[in-house]
Amino acid sequence: MKKYIIEQANVGEVKEGEKNGRKWKGTKCGVKIGGKWYNNWLFSDWQVDIIAKANGGDELYLELFKEEYNGKEYDKFKIPSKVDILEKRVEILEFLINGKGEDPEPDPPEEAEEIDPHTSPRLNTEWQPF
């Protein structure tokens, strides 16, 4: 999972069907990154919405990979699931706590507002005499 800058995004055809008594709906989507198109079928509405709302210059977390089908290689992408995102967070925490394994290269945190403990209405955790 890595953050990529999207040049262009496309939502294409929708197919619906039924398999083993369960209905399904898939939407063909594509993203252009570095002048190259990556395509895949997405089956979750929230994932399709992410691609549909993506504009050129937007940053998205994606997994890019190649898949072979009938002797031909295709460039594909995957939007990380909520479980994938949580696993990445755990990996980062384990690295920070234990210092073991590969550095997952977390994004720098957003700049937080500096808080003065003497003027802030928040609780001051320093011990103070009565």
- For residues 75 and 85, state if they share a domain: no
Taking only the tens place, the pLDDT of each residue in 86-115 is 888 888 888 888 876 666 565 555 554 555
Q: How confident is the model at residue 120 (pLDDT cuts 50, 70, 90)?
A: very low
Does residue 30 carry a pLDDT above 90? yes
Tell whether 54 is covered by a domain. Answer: yes
Taking only the tens place, the pLDDT of each residue in 45-60 is 989 999 999 988 999 8
Give the separation between CA 35 and CA 69, rounded to whole angstroms: 23
Let me know the angle formed at the C-alpha of 109 by 103 and 114, rounded to the nearest 5 degrees.
140
- For residues 42 and 87, state if they share a domain: no
- For residues 32 and 47, state if they share a domain: yes
- For residues 36 and 93, state if they share a domain: no
Q: Are 29 and 51 in contact (CB under 8 A)?
A: yes
- For residues 65 and 35, state if they share a domain: yes
Tell whether 126 is covered by a domain. Answer: no
Give the separation between CA 52 and CA 20, rounded to whole angstroms: 29
CA separation, residue 21 to residues 14, 17, 24, 25 (Å): 19, 10, 10, 13
In which domain, by residue range, is 25 found? 2-80
- For residues 41 and 86, state if they share a domain: no
pTM over 0.85: no
Tell whether 124 is covered by a domain. Answer: no
Tell whether 20 is covered by a domain. Answer: yes
CA separation, residue 53 to residues 11, 29, 36, 46, 75 (Å): 10, 12, 19, 11, 21
- For residues 8 and 31, state if they share a domain: yes
Give the separation between CA 61 and CA 5, rounded to whole angstroms: 9
